[in-house]
Amino acid sequence: MKKIIKNGVIVTAADTYKGDILIENEKIALIGQDLTDPQAEVIDAGGNYVFPGAIDPHTHLEMPFGGTVSKDDFETGTIAAAYGGTTTVIDFCLTNKGEPLQGSIDQWHAKSKDKSVIDYSFHLMIGEITDNVLEELPHVIEDEGITSFKVFMAYKDVFQADDGTLFRTLEEAKKLGALVMVHAENGDVVDHLVKKALKAGNTDPIYHALTRPPEAEGEATGRAAQLTGLADSQLYVVHVSCSEAVEKIAEARKKGYEVWGETCPQYLVLDQSYLEKPNFEGAKYVWSPPLREKWNQEVLWNALKTGQLQTLGSDQCSFDFHGQKDLGKGDFTKIPNGGPIIEDRVSLLFSEGVKKGRITLNQFVEITSTRIAKLFGIYPQKGTISVGADADLVIFDPNIERTISVETSHMAADYNPFEGMEVTGQPVSVLSRGEFVIRDKKFVGELGKGNYLKRARYGELKTSAAQELPVN
C-alpha cells in the first residue's frame, strides 16, 4: 500500500526542509508540499525529523571470537539496529587461510538469510593472497557484490595478515574496484607487550589498554596509509580511537591519498578509566583498539566536524558479561573483545553530537548514512531521501529523553556499556523499503524480510564519494 509521510522535517546530508514523502512499491515516489493520494495511508510526522535510514558499516553478528561466539545474531542484532534507526548493516565475513572464500561467504549467507529484518551486505576478510584467492576475488565482486576487503594488522596468530598481504590486497582492490578496510594496530608490538605484562603478573582488564598503546595504532594507521599511497589504492580505517591515528589519516589525505576514517560511539563518550572498574566490570569495556585517555574524545569529535573522519560504525560485537567476558578472569587476553552498540549508535551521535553543538544536523546524516552509502557502493539506493531511492526512513523525535539501560535495550547481551547515560532524541518509527519495521517504538517487522545487497564497485557510481577528492 502507498504511504505518505506528512509534515516532517526532512533532513539529508545537504538540506533541511519541511515536506511530504510519497512511498510506492518500496521506493520514494515523490517529495513535495501538501501531497495527497486517496489510496495512500497517511503517517503524521509533525514535530519530528525524517532521516534516511542509518547504515551501520561495521558489525560482527554471530561471529566466532576468542573461543566463543558474539551474542547478537542477525535476528536480535538487526531488530536492535532497527529500534535504533539503522536500516542497513554491513557485516564482516571472516575467512580461513587455505579455505575457499566462497565457503565463508556461503556460511555468512546461511546465518543471515532467514533472520535479518533489514537489508544487509558483507565485507570480506582477506588473510592471505594466494593463487586461489586471486582467482576468487573477481567472482566475489561480480557474483556476490562484495566490494570491500578487510585486512587485520592485529590479533597475531589469529586474524593478523602481514604487510605483503596488505599491500597485495591494496593492489588487487585498485585493479578490481574495491575498498580496503584495515584494523590498524601493530599486532607484533602488542603481542610482545602482552607477553611482558602476563609475565609480570599483570592480568587485570586495564592491562588490555596498557598493552595496546595509541602509538601502536598510530604506527599501523600510518603504515597502511603509506602503502595505500604506494599502491595508488583506497583505504578505510575502521574504529579509529585516538589522536595518533587521526593525525596519520589527516597527513595522508593532505597528500591526496584516498584514505577514509571511521570512529565509534564508545571512543567518543567512554574512556580508559572504565577498564579499572572493580569486580572485573572493566571487562565490559574491552575493545580493540582500547578505550583511550579522555582528551582523545575532543580530537575525534573535531575530526568528525572537520571531515578528517567521515563515518561512525558501531563495531557491534556483543558478549555477555556472565559466561563470556568472564572467560578472561585472571587473564585479560582471554576477555572477548567488543560490546553491544548497534542500537544506540545513532541516538548517541545525535544526542552528544547534534544536541551539544559538536556537529550539524546535516553532518549527522552524512556521518551515519550518506557517506557510508557512497563509500560502500549503495548510493543513492540507500543513504539519502530522494525520488527513486529505497524508502528506508526514520521518523525521529528530537525531544524524547531516555536513559540507556540493559533493561530497555533490545540487544541480547546482559549489560549495556552506556548504562545510565541520558540521551535526547529517539526514532519513533522506522521503515525499510516502505514497510514499517518499528512503529510507534514497537517492533512490527518480519524475520528474513531483509534483502542481501550486492554493492557497486568502489568509484563505479557517478555519484560516488570515491570520485570526490578528500576534503580537508
CA R_g for the chain? 21
Question: Any idea what DSSP says for residue 350?
Answer: I
**Residues 244/221, Cβ–Cβ less than 8 Å:** yes
Quickly list DSSP for 199-215: HTT--STHHHHHTS-HH
CB of 290 to ligand URP, least distance (A): 8
CA 63 to CA 110: how far, in whole Å? 13
337's contact among Zn ion, ligand URP, none, with CB below 5 to 8 A by partner kind, is ligand URP
Residue 174's binding partner out of Zn ion, ligand URP, none, with CB under 5 to 8 Å set by partner kind: none
H or E segment and range at residue 119: strand 119-125
Which partner from the list Zn ion, ligand URP, none does 287 bind, CB cut-off 5 to 8 Å by kind?
ligand URP
Interaction of residue 106 with Zn ion, rule CB under 5 A: no
Q: Under rule CB under 5 A, how many of the chain's residues touch Zn ion?
A: 4
Query: What string of DSSP letters covers 92-106?
Result: EE---TTS-HHHHHH
Q: Which of 242, 246, 317, 367 binds ligand URP (CB under 6 A)?
A: 317
- Contact with ligand URP (CB under 6 A) among 74, 267, 287, 332: 287
Other beta carbons within 10 angstroms of residue 1's beta carbon come to: 9
Partner whose binding site includes residue 3, from ligand URP, Zn ion, none (CB under 5 to 8 Å by kind): none
User: Which of residues 143 and 331 has its CB atom nearest to Zn ion in the complex?
Assistant: 143
Nearer to Zn ion, 143 or 446 (CB): 143
Which of residues 127 and 338 has its CB atom nearest to ligand URP in the complex?
338
Considering only 19, 57, 338, 427, the residue that binds ligand URP (CB under 6 A) is 338
Q: Residue 315 interacts with ligand URP (CB under 6 A)?
A: yes
CA distance 255 to 246: 14
- Answer for which of 139, 192, 196, 255 binds Zn ion (CB under 5 A) is 139
In the complex, what is the shortest distance from the CB of residue 11 to Zn ion, in angstroms, rounded to a whole number?
A: 28
Query: In angstroms, what is the minimal distance from the CB of 393 to ligand URP?
Result: 29
Residue 208 near Zn ion by CB under 5 A: no
Residue nearest to ligand URP (CB): 337
Distance CA 336, CA 334 (A): 6
Residue with cell 518480519: 446
C-alpha to C-alpha distances, 465 to 156, 231, 292, 389, nearest whole angstrom: 33, 20, 30, 17
Shortest distance, position 447 Cβ to ligand URP, whole Å: 25
The secondary structure element, H or E, covering residue 243 is helix 243-254
Cβ burial, residue 251 (10 Å; 0-12/13-18/19+): middle
When CB distances are held under 5 to 8 angstroms depending on the partner's kind, the choice from Zn ion, ligand URP, none that residue 139 binds is Zn ion
For 281-368, list the strands marked E by DSSP. Answer: 311-312
Q: Which long-range contacts (CB under 8 A, 24 or more apart) does 17-25 make?
A: 21/50, 21/385, 21/391, 21/393, 23/391, 23/393, 23/431, 23/434, 24/434, 25/434
Taking the C-alpha atoms of residue 446 and residue 439, their distance in angstroms, rounded to an integer, is 13
Q: ω before 52 within 30° of 0 (cis)?
A: no
Compute the least distance from the CB of residue 59 to Zn ion, in Å. 8
Choose from Zn ion, ligand URP, none: what does 143 bind? Cβ within 5-8 Å by kind. Zn ion
CB of 61 to ligand URP, least distance (A): 11
- Burial class of 435 by CB neighbour count within 10 A (0 to 12, 13 to 18, 19+): middle
Nearer to ligand URP, 10 or 125 (CB): 125
Contact flags string 303-332 toward Zn ion, x per CB under 5 A? ------------x-----------------
The least distance separating Zn ion from the CB of residue 130, rounded to whole angstroms, comes to 18
Q: What angle do CA 70, 75, 78 make, to 5 degrees?
A: 90
User: Within positions 52 to 91, which residues make up the interface with ligand URP, using CB under 6 A?
Assistant: 60
The answer to whether residue 183 forms part of the interface with ligand URP (CB under 6 A) is yes
Site string for Zn ion, 397-436 (x = CB under 5 A): ----------------------------------------
Identity of the residue, 183 or 371, whose beta carbon is nearer to Zn ion in the bound complex: 183
337 lines the binding site for ligand URP (CB under 6 A): yes
E strand spans, 433-467: 435-439, 442-443
Residue 159 CA to residue 181 CA, distance in Å, equals: 14
* Count of CB atoms situated within 10 Å of the CB of 459: 18
**Closer CB to ligand URP, residue 148 or residue 432?**
148
Least distance between Zn ion and beta carbon 100 (Å): 12
Instruction: Work out the end-to-end distance of the chain between its first and last CA atoms, rounded to an integer number of angstroms.
Output: 45
Q: Which of 158/387 has CB closer to ligand URP?
A: 158
Give the footprint of Zn ion on residues 157-186 (CB under 5 A). Answer: 183
Interface residues toward Zn ion, by CB under 5 A: 139, 143, 183, 315
Footprint of ligand URP (CB under 6 A):
60, 183, 239, 287-288, 315, 317, 337-338
